[in-house]
Amino acid sequence: MKPEINIALMNAAQEILTRFSPLIEDEYEQSRLNSWGALILISAMKFNQSYSSLAEENDSIINWLRKTKQTYSKDLIKEIDEVKVEEGVEQTILDEQNQLLRAILVKAHKEVDLKEDIELKKELLNLLREMHSHRKVSDLIGLLQQADS
């Protein structure tokens, strides 16, 4: 990962917030520009954390699936057992693992919905909330990472 991207993002945010925004007289447009500047600043700070967040999310998903696998169908248990989550891999492989885990989680979610186990449903909801918190700024970060490649 190139450190220049973080520096460029921070400089862009600083320019937007301190030089360009004050020049705009329309409050609505100024507010919009300030929002973009803040989003760029947040993205600069989160840029390096995205890899570790994705790795953490993969670990959370596979750990939960393995912990609860006794409640699933034989086919789903087989899928869960076949998943290999590797550590220290490059971002693209980490993304592929994440997509695979999410696909399995969707199947698990469907099976959990058919059960009467309220605690299992609460655990799944907590996992989904945790996953969502990892993705708050991920759209812009994903675009920036594609530009970095």
- pLDDT by position in tens, the chain (length 149): 445 676 788 888 889 989 998 999 999 999 999 999 988 888 777 765 667 778 888 999 999 999 999 999 999 999 999 998 777 777 678 888 989 999 999 999 999 999 999 999 999 999 998 887 766 545 555 555 555 55
| Domains contained in the chain, number | 2
The predicted pLDDT at position 145 comes to 54
Residues with Cβ within 8 Å of residue 127, at least 6 apart in sequence: 60, 61, 64, 105
How many angstroms separate the CA atoms of 12 and 8, rounded?
Answer: 6
For residue 149, tell me if it sits in a domain. Answer: no
The predicted pLDDT at position 135 comes to 63
The predicted pLDDT at position 40 comes to 86
For residue 143, tell me if it sits in a domain. Answer: no
| Region at 44 (left for phi over 0; alpha for psi -120 to 50; beta for the rest) | alpha
Q: Please give the residue range of the domain that contains residue 35.
A: 3-47
The predicted pLDDT at position 1 comes to 43
For residue 142, tell me if it sits in a domain. Answer: no
Regarding whether 109 and 54 lie in a shared domain, the answer is yes
Regarding whether 17 and 37 lie in a shared domain, the answer is yes
Regarding whether 92 and 41 lie in a shared domain, the answer is no
| pTM attached to this predicted model | 0.59
For residue 85, tell me if it sits in a domain. Answer: yes
Regarding whether 73 and 123 lie in a shared domain, the answer is yes
**Cα 149-134-86 angle, rounded to 5 deg:** 60
Amino acid at 87: E
Regarding whether 122 and 60 lie in a shared domain, the answer is yes
